[in-house]
Each structure stands twice: as structure tokens, then as C-alpha cells.
Amino acid sequence: MTVPPEPAATGADPDPDLVAESAADPATEPSAAETATAGEPDADPADPAEPDLEGPRRRARREREERRAAQARAMAIEQARREAKRRAQGRTEEKPKQAPRGVIRGLKVLMWTAVLAVVVVGVGLLLYFTPIMSARETVVTGLTALSEDEVRQVAAVAEGTPLLQIDTDAVAERVASIRRVASARVQREYPSTLRITVAERVPVVVKDYPDGPHLFDRDGVDFVTAPPPPGLPYIDTETPGPRDPATLAGLQVLTSLPPEVSGQVSRVEAPSVAAITLVLFDGRKVVWGTTDRTQEKALKLAALLTQPGQTYDVSSPDLPTVK
């Protein structure tokens, strides 16, 4: 390599031939390979000229994964943006609302109630319209003077009638229409029995009529014409009956007496509600007066009857007297 002579220190310009020769020296110029390397970019590994190392399936899978990753990054960015906006506005993160437990429990109860109602209605219809549970036997209890056949005839319940089709109230009213019956109760006893419970009237007093003695119960109902039981007291009123005040007053006094006292009464005289008198079997009389303080008078009379006398006045229970 030839080094060009340095210019003279005198300040004269260099020789043009020497400068041209130096510029044209091939030793100082870069080689073609160096020029290509410095002026061209590195070769692209995906250059079509190079062989494709991944198949179409791998490339498609890689592209799908890249799209998913890009979508996830976008969603994360959007979520972060919304969260930052909520924090900036002073709001907390909204949580999805869940149905309260009470509502869910209520829906379950409602559902089971509806199912149960459907089952009950179905069973009721089956029992009402089919003879599965029908009246095959009628049992009558509580009778003393009446017969079972008489009660069944008045009840008028056809054998084989489904129990649910029987109007128990109507049957009880028909049975109670018998004069000797004070009350009646009708019950269904599954699977196939109808029970009729009867309470007969009990005679309390008797009154003589041209057609014979009439028996009255504690309510003043004339329910039968028949010979009275032994020891049954007579009642003296003008118009005995359940609507006669004097009759009801006399019966109230008689039924309030203790058994040991009422068993001694042979007659109840009740011309009015204010003048009630009891006549005993031995001829003694009890002046009762009105029905005021009846229980107190009954207690005083039980004590007075232990004393000798013919007339016992308890019309004023504060001052009972014996004559």
C-alpha cells in the first residue's frame, strides 16, 4: 500500500494526480461482499426461498392461539379501563345479583303445595264419584226408647252411596225431627261406615191431658204421650211448652236442685215466673218466688229441709224461714 506524500508545510495544495491515484487504489476500497453485507438487510427467515419448517395445521393453530391471546389482552385492557373508571367515580365493583334464599325456598314450597293440591283433588274426585268408600253399614248409638230401624228409616241413607256424597248435616236434621230425639250427630267412618249418635229426650215433668199424660223434657218440649216413670213430678202451668216463661222458670228451679232434694218434689206449681212453689211427696211446701239467685236458694233449701216444719220460704235467701 503506497502512502501519498504529505503536503508541504508551506501551505501549497496537494498534487491532483496523487490524490486521484490514492482514491483509485483498490486496496482502500471495500470488497463486493463487504458492500453487499453492509448495504443489504439480513435475510428473512420466512423468505419463500427458504424451506417452510411448520405445516399448515401448526400454522393455523398458532394463528388461532395468537388471536385468542390478542382477544384476551383486549378484554383485560377493557376490564382495567372500566375498573379505573369506577374507581375514579368512587364506585365499587358490581357483583352479579343472586336470588335470595327465601325466594328459592318460597318457590319450592309453592311447587310442592301445588303438587299436593293436585294429588288431594284427584283423590277427592276418586272417592266422590266412585263406590270405593261407600256407606255399606249404618251404625246407630245412644238409643233407649227408639229402635235402630226407626232411626235408619228417617235418616234415609241409601246403601252404597259414596260417603263424600252424604250430607251429614241434612241427615242429622232428619233424625232430630223425631220427637223423642233431642240431638243427633252423623259422622263418616272410612272406609264404609256411617255412624249416627242420638241423644234422646229425658222426661223431667209430666202433665195430664184428656188423651193421657204428656211427658216434658228440661226444655219444656212435649215429646211423647205415655205413662210417666215412677216419681216423676207434675207441673201445674196454664200453657206448658218451650215458649211459656212460667214453664221454663219452673223447670229451671227443678233442675237446679240437688238430687237428694229434687227426688222429694212431687209437683211444681208455676202460675207465673214470680210465684213458683214446690210441693214435696210428704206434703211440705217450698215457697221459691222468682228465679233470682236460684243456686243460692237451692243450697239454703237443702239445709232447711233438715229442720221440722211444713212451709220453707227461701224467696229471700238472706232470710230463709221455716214454719
pLDDT tens for residues 208-232?
999 999 999 999 999 999 999 999 9
Residues 6 or more apart whose Cβ sits within 8 Å of residue 139: 189, 193, 194, 195, 196
pLDDT of residue 98: 63
Residue with cell 501549497: 12
Average pLDDT over residues 81-89: 85
For residue 288, the model assigns a pLDDT of: 97
Pairing, β 205-209 against β 321-322: unpaired
Mean pLDDT of the 2-16 span: 42
Q: Are 191 and 162 in contact (CB under 8 A)?
A: no
How does residue 95 score in pLDDT terms, banded at 50, 70 and 90? low
> Tens digits of per-residue pLDDT, 148-198?
999 999 999 998 898 888 999 999 999 999 999 999 999 999 888 999 999
- Look at residue 99 in the predicted model and tell me its pLDDT: 60
Q: List Cβ neighbours of 248 (8 Å cut-off, separation of 6 or more).
A: 220, 242
**Cα atoms found within 13 Å of the Cα of residue 285, Cβ hemisphere only:** 11
pTM recorded for the entire structure? 0.60
- Closest to 121 measured CA to CA, from 131, 110, 113: 113
Distance CA(109)–CA(122), nearest Å, equals 20
Least confident of 23-32, 56-65, 235-244: 23-32
Compute the distance between CA of residue 274 and CA of residue 246 in angstroms, rounded to an integer.
8
Lowest mean pLDDT across 14-23, 164-173, 180-189, 272-281? 14-23
DSSP assignment of 100-117:
-HHHHHHHHHHHHHHHHH
Q: What would the pLDDT profile of 48-57 be if each residue is shown by its tens digit?
A: 444 556 688 8
Looking only at the bridges linking them, the beta strands covering 311-313 and 285-289 are parallel
Report the pLDDT value the prediction gives residue 53, as an integer from 0 to 100. 65
| Gap between the Cα atoms of 264 and 281, Å rounded | 6
pLDDT given for residue 177 in this prediction: 95
For residues 205 and 217, the answer to whether their CB atoms sit within 8 Å is no
State the pLDDT at residue 127. Answer: 61
Q: Would you state the pLDDT for residue 302?
A: 92
Q: Is the pLDDT of residue 21 over 60?
A: no
Distance of CA 164 to the CA centre of its chain: 23
Is the predicted pLDDT of residue 277 greater than 80, yes or no? Answer: yes
